[in-house]
Amino acid sequence: MSNLPDILQTNTVQIVSNEISVYTDNLTPESIIKGIVKIKKAFPSLPMDFYEVFDERINDNHFTDNRLKDAINSVIDNCIYPVPTIANFISFDKRIKVFNYDEMLKKCNENGDTWDNYKAVLLPGNVKRVWIHINEIEKYKIESL
């Protein structure tokens, strides 16, 4: 298992379109309830049916406690209409770019100091290393190999 911090700890980190979400913790019923209460306080005119669909969509979209909390805060801070849509919440994610070895070789052809700016990381559930920019490694406290 990799030496990733809690925010990145999970059995498997899925790489989708050469990106990974920084949210890999679990989604708990307590966080869903707490989140719905916060949404109700911020947007009291939302119908009750909204919350049933909202709960289904956050589960189907593999939300985590931290992603849910951040998504709700983001929508509260940025919603310009009287009420948000479920899509406003679901579309929120923080992702970081990862590169495989072949992609790193291509980057080297473009920029000679590529290897100085990226570090190798073995993500949980993956057998091959990927490279992540050192700024993101520092920001999300990812331990490199």
Other residues' Cβ atoms within 10 Å of the Cβ of residue 37: 10
- Can you give the pTM of this predicted structure? 0.78
Residues 14 and 39 in one domain: no
Judge whether residue 67 has pLDDT over 90.
Answer: yes
The domain tally of the chain equals: 2
DSSP string, 101-137: HHHHHHHHHH-TTHHHHEEEE--TT-SS-EEEEHHHH
| Region of residue 125 (phi > 0: left; psi between -120 and 50: alpha; otherwise: beta) | left
Residue 52 belongs to a domain: yes
Residues 104 and 80 in one domain: no
Residues 87 and 108 in one domain: no
Instruction: Report the alpha-carbon distance of residue 106 to residue 124 in Å, rounded.
Output: 25
pLDDT value of residue 4: 45
By CB neighbour count within 10 A (0-12 exposed, 13-18 middle, 19+ buried), where does 136 fall?
A: middle
pLDDT value of residue 6: 41
Residues 16 and 37 in one domain: no
Judge whether residue 144 has pLDDT over 80.
Answer: no
**Residue range 30-35: average pLDDT?**
97
3-state secondary structure 43-110: CCCCCHHHHHHHHHHHHHCCCCHHHHHHHHHHHHHHCCCCCCCHHHHHCCCCEEECECHHHHHHHHHH
Residues 51 and 40 in one domain: yes
Domain interval for residue 120: 6-22+96-139
DSSP state of 6: G
Q: Chain-centre distance of CA 19, in angstroms?
A: 10
pLDDT tier for residue 9 given thresholds of 50, 70 and 90: very low
pLDDT digits (tens, 9 = 90+) for 98-125: 999 999 999 888 877 888 899 999 887 7
